[in-house]
A and B are shown apart, each in its own frame.
Chain A
Amino acid sequence: MRLVLDHLTVRRGPCPVLHDISLTLAEGEFVGLLGPNGAGKTTLLRAALGLLPAGGHSSIAALPPAARARAAAFLPQGREIAWPMPVETLVALGRPGRRPEDTAAVARAIDRLGLAPLRPRRATELSGGEQARVLLARALAQEAPLLLADEPTAGLDPEQQLAVMTLFAGLAAEGGTVLASLHDLGLAARHCTRLIVLDTGRIVADGAPRAVLTEALLAGTFGIRAHLSEGPEGLIFQPLGRVAR
């Protein structure tokens, strides 16, 4: 399923925090949403999902709530688990029905993230990384064609970060559409099929990783210089130092 945003604008008080965002994400794309802190990444994801009032149009936010839940899954930035639910119950929140296909979707999500051994444990008693996997499984259990994830790799160890990126690339390869906000430009450069860079609420670059991560953009938007090279497993990004903006 495609995600179409048309002139999406969000204001906080008088100042716009998201200016006139128009973009289309197609099936099979794994899009990295990049930008420094405060660039509007979270706001863009939330506005696209209809979680905050916005001007313009989002193809997902326009749907009625039940259809929206079938079309798009969302992994918020704050990893909240309010109650000590067993892992399996928590994952099933993404798919609350009792039909066989619902239970099967929950089982697939648990398998996909290797959570089978943790199934009966209380989610609140797990480590931060395990909780992140449980919450991701909850979002996957929706088996929605679109997945929007807000900083899915934050706070994870390198192996888990790679696992998440590989998983998302796999979802896209299966025909899904993934939009993930990321801070790790190296992971984004290597795994995403497309990068969108936000700066102060505007899109400043959009395209293939090699085309987007230019010296000028890295210096102007992120205030860094970096070494980019083409390795056998894809684009390699190595930050070198800060530059004066």
Chain B
Amino acid sequence: MRLPYPALLAALGLAGALLFLASLLVGPAAIGLSDSLAALIHGQGEAVTLVMREVRLPRAILGAAIGAALGLSGALLQGLLRNPLAEPGLIGTSSSAALGAVLAIQTGVSAAFALALPLAALAGALASVAVLLLLSGPRGSTLTLILAGIGISSLATATTALILNLSPNPFAANEIIFWMMGSLADRSMLHVQLALPFLGLGALLAIPAARSLDALTLGEDAAASIGVNLRRLRLLTVLAAALMVGAATAVAGAVGFVGLVVPHLLRRACDARPSRLLAASALGGAAVVLAADVAVRLIAPDRDLKLGVLTALVGAPFFLHLILRTRQEGL
């Protein structure tokens, strides 16, 4: 069975919308369906309105936006590198964002004001993009880009480990470890306001890259001969992915496997066209993260199961299954 592309997008969008609704309706405060929606829209009843507007709505928005950003970044990087194993963490942005956050927690800056932690993470992410572009240079090949990304990622991970290693404060170390697991719990509208501009800008940058990624299927020389500006394409793709992954990690910590698995899963349904895979992976990523975030609340309502733990726990075996299938059928 094969869905036409618009139907595929509509189905993914519908799944995302239903899961968004589910995300609004699931939580420790037992509120009925009609009550919760009425409170969200009309603002009747003080406590319920507060729960809906300040707790569940930002959580659902962030779930959709971060999922979309991770799916889209994964599809972008797989397209640019012509490799189904590329994932958003490859260019080092997520580990650098984590390093920024860890520094903020360790130094106590994170407690200074509400957005100190995500801002520090964002600063880490942006610094890593600057270093990446500096290292790979304007004429840098795709290989230099990957190698620079791996280098930055390793350095950021090592520094994070060093901080944990030497941390004199067990509470800070504990907080760091939990933060790195990735979660959407207790996020506010401030987090939404901080992340959305970067996520939106990243998504906008992805649009002009779409067609060029299709041509890149034929390799860099053939793509350039059909009029693709490779330097511009690399810059657009890397900036877009870095902005989205940086902002996503800044507000939610590390949510793994979404950017790797979602494009892989949807590739054939998109006729393996990188341009079509972008929108599909964004919608698919949103649906997957929303579903995972509903699941963590249903599986362990009072244990604060971390989102990133669940996505990795489900994503990794699923990925192994995909590899087995790839071995049998080709990509």
Contacts and interface: CB of A to CB of B under 8 A. Distances in A.
Interface string B218-233: 1101101111110000
Contacts of A84: 267-268, 272, 330-331
Interface stretch (A9-17, A30-38, A62-70, A207-215): A62-70
Contact of B219 (A69, A82, A96, A124): A82
Contacts of A96: 211, 214-215, 226
Contacts of A65: 224, 227-229
Interface in A22-49: 46, 49
A141 to B, nearest CB: 10
Contacts of A113: none
Contact of A51 (B214, B224, B271, B273): B224
Interface-centre pick from B82, B267, B272, B330 (highest chain A CB count, 10 A): B272
Interface string A86-103: 100110011010000000
Interface in B122-158: none
A89 B218 contact: no
14 contacts: A46-B221, A49-B225, A51-B225, A69-B226, A78-B219, A78-B221, A82-B216, A83-B273, A85-B271, A93-B214, A94-B226, A125-B330, A135-B222, A142-B226
A21 to B, nearest CB: 19
Interface residues of A, number: 31
B273 A89 contact: yes
B217 interface: yes
A93 B330 contact: no
A126 to B, nearest CB: 11
B225 A73 contact: yes
B58 interface: no
Nearest to B222: A76
Interface in B78-105: 82
A49 B224 CA distance: 9
B174 to A, nearest CB: 44
Given A84-B330, A84-B331, A86-B271, A135 B225 contact: no
B222 A85 contact: no
Interface of A: 46, 49, 51, 65-66, 68-69, 72-76, 78, 80-86, 89-90, 93-94, 96, 122, 124-125, 135, 138, 142
Chain B contact-residue range equals 20 to 34
Contacts of B229: 65
B217 A76 contact: no
B71 interface: no
Given A76-B219, A93-B214, A93-B215, A82 B82 contact: yes
Which 6 A/B pairs are nearest by Cβ-Cβ distance? A80-B219, A74-B225, A69-B227, A83-B272, A82-B82, A65-B227
B274 interface: yes
Contacts of B222: 74-76, 80, 135, 138
Given A122-B330, A125-B330, A85 B217 contact: yes
B227 A83 contact: no
B213 to A, nearest CB: 10
A138 B331 contact: no
Nearest to A96: B211
Given A51-B225, A83-B267, A94-B226, A138 B273 contact: no
Contact of B271 (A66, A76, A89): A89
Given A68-B227, A84-B330, A93-B214, A74 B272 contact: no
Nearest to B214: A93
Nearest to A74: B225
B233 to A, nearest CB: 12
Contacts of A142: 226
A125 B274 CA distance: 18
A82 B330 CA distance: 11
Contact of B227 (A66, A78, A89, A135): A66
Given A89-B271, A124-B331, A81 B227 contact: no
Nearest to A125: B330
Contacts of B219: 76, 78, 80, 82
A89 B274 CA distance: 12
Contacts of B271: 85-86, 89
